[in-house]
Every structure is written in C-alpha cells, then in structure tokens.
Amino acid sequence: MHIVTYSPAFTLVPTYECFNRCSYCNFRTDPQKDVWLTLDKAREILTSLQGKEVTEILILSGEVHPQSTRRKDWLRLIYDIAHSALSMGFFPHSNVGPLSYEEMALLKTVNASMGLMVEQVTPSLLDTVHRFAPSKIPQLRLQQLEWAGMLQIPFTTGILLGIGESSCDRMESLRAIASIHKKYGHIQEVILQPYSKGNKDNYSQNNFSSLEMLETIKKAKEILPNNIAIQIPPNLIEDENTLIKCLELGVTDLGGIVPKDEVNPDYNHHSLEDLTTTLLNHDWLLKPRLPVYPQYYQETFTRLKIIENQDTKRLI
C-alpha cells in the first residue's frame, strides 16, 4: 500500500479585495468593494470547527496595496485570526500575497507555516495575464522565498500551469525554487497547479493537457530536492486515471481538502470518503498531515509553544 497525504483544512478569507487583476483570477473583488471578515465572525467559525477533523486553518487573502492606509488594519486582522486559530488548537497557515520583511517576521510568530505561489518566473507574463498585477513581478515573488528562508519559516510555494508559459519556463521556475531551498532548506512543498477555467476569469487560452501535467511532474521530480513534497490539487485533475498516474510519477500530497476551494470555486473537492475509496481501489492510502511537515516539527512546536496532545499525535 502506497501513502499520499493531505491536510484536513478550512479556509478563512479576511478579504477578497485585491489590487492585482490577473486575467485568470476567480477570487478577487475590486479594492474597497468587499466587506472584510470580522475577527468576531472568524472566532465564531473557529469555535464551530473545534472537535472536528480540521487541523489547518488556511488564511487566504486578497492583497491590500502596500501603500494603502488600510494595510496595517489588514495585516492586524490576519495576525489576529491566526492568533485566535492558534489559541484554539489549530495550525494556521497564511497565504496573503507578498509581505515586507517585517510583516513576514510578525506573521511568523502566529503561523505554523506560510506560503506564496511563485506562479512563473518568466517576465513575458507581465505583458499578458499579469499586465495589471504589480505584485506578480517574478523577482518580487522570489524575494519572498528568500526572506522566508532567512526567517526559517516552513514554506509552501508552487507554479501555475497553462497561463501562457512554455515548458522551458516551467522548468526555469522549478529550478529557481530549488536553488533557494538549497540555500535555506525551508521549502516543504511545491504545488503544481493547472489553470482551470472559471466563471469570473477572462482568460480563455488554456491549452495545458493531462500529458503536459504528467511531464511537468516528471521534470519536477528531477529538479526538486527529495525533501520537498510535490503537491497537486485533486479537484483540478481531469480524471481518476490521470490522478493515479500523477501519484505514480512522484506526487506525494493532495494539499488541503476543504469544503470550498476559494481560488477555484467552480471546482469542488470530492468528498473525503469518495476520494479515500478511489485511492484505496488503486492501493493508495490517504493519510492526514499537519500543515507543517515533520522535519520542521521541533522548531515550530517550540516557537509556537505547541504542546503535543492527542490531536497532534494522531497526525505525527
């Protein structure tokens, strides 16, 4: 029996507003056109999740401009949600866009792990899908990985597939991630995320095939160090046979299985029971994990003053 992991997760969105306008986005709303999640509402949701299977609280936010007068309020809300989740026995994982070094250092104090997609390092996308997305400058994204390494934050990153990049671009992006990890040893997983057409985006040139997905996994296995997990979102994989082939080629994780995929709201996850059965039929065991990987347990538990209890031990 082979093992593939997933994170029992729930997503909290402080705000959907974002100053970027990526062509393929199905998440964002315009700045100041969204009512932010209140801390009281976040605590109410967290309270309702206590005693259930959820261990990870994914704090996923649109980006408030760094020069906005509301930036400090936005950061404080993210910090307070993470702090509340931590105090209630959950493991927060924040993915909220590029941060200053000081902002990242602050959020480290209340997050088990953090994340940011590199997306693609080719600058050509700044003329197409990222034309109106100032925070998608490749060097800015890579700088975030560097700072996370300097701060020794267990980090999740990844690349988007099928947004106009070439096969060579994908390999270059993976090599850039591997290079930074070799310096700091902090990248715990890399997501290979295929673009999937949604109801809100205005990008329609996706030609990324299942065969390209399999080829990208093969290359990722060659490029990435062995101690980086390769993750794919199962709700974005075309069919059962392709999913199993992905696992056979080296995918080790299926990410957060959540009630609603906020980034791809038109693509719901299969129920955990159905996914478990599907995998068992092919001799794969779906096993829950924490949002921080085992090699980072000791430092993370010490840093956050987490005491191992029955909830954590069953996943360790």
pLDDT for the residue numbered 293: 97
pLDDT for the residue numbered 201: 83
d(CA 256, CA 174): 21
Number of domains in the chain: 1
| Pure H helices in 24-161 | 39-49, 71-87, 101-108, 138-150
Rg (CA), the chain: 18
pTM here is 0.95
Tell how far CA 254 is from the center of its chain: 11
pLDDT tens for each residue of the chain, 316 residues long: 899 999 999 999 999 999 999 999 999 999 999 999 999 999 999 999 999 999 999 999 999 999 999 999 999 999 999 999 999 999 999 999 999 999 999 999 999 999 999 999 999 999 999 999 999 999 999 999 999 999 999 999 999 999 999 999 999 999 999 999 999 999 999 999 999 888 888 887 767 899 999 999 999 999 999 999 999 999 999 899 999 999 999 999 999 999 999 999 999 998 999 999 999 999 999 999 999 999 999 999 999 988 665 455 445 4
Residues 6+ apart with CB under 8 A from 152: 184, 186, 299
CATH classification at residue 103: 3.20.20.70
* C-beta of residue 222 within 8 angstroms of C-beta of residue 286: no
d(CA 176, CA 171): 9
The two beta strands, 187-194 and 91-95, are unpaired
The two beta strands, 2-12 and 56-60, are parallel
Query: Which residues form the domain of 275?
Result: 2-313
pLDDT for the residue numbered 309: 56
d(CA 311, CA 137): 40
pLDDT for the residue numbered 81: 98
* C-beta of residue 234 within 8 angstroms of C-beta of residue 254: yes
Nearest to 232 by CA among 265, 255, 216: 255
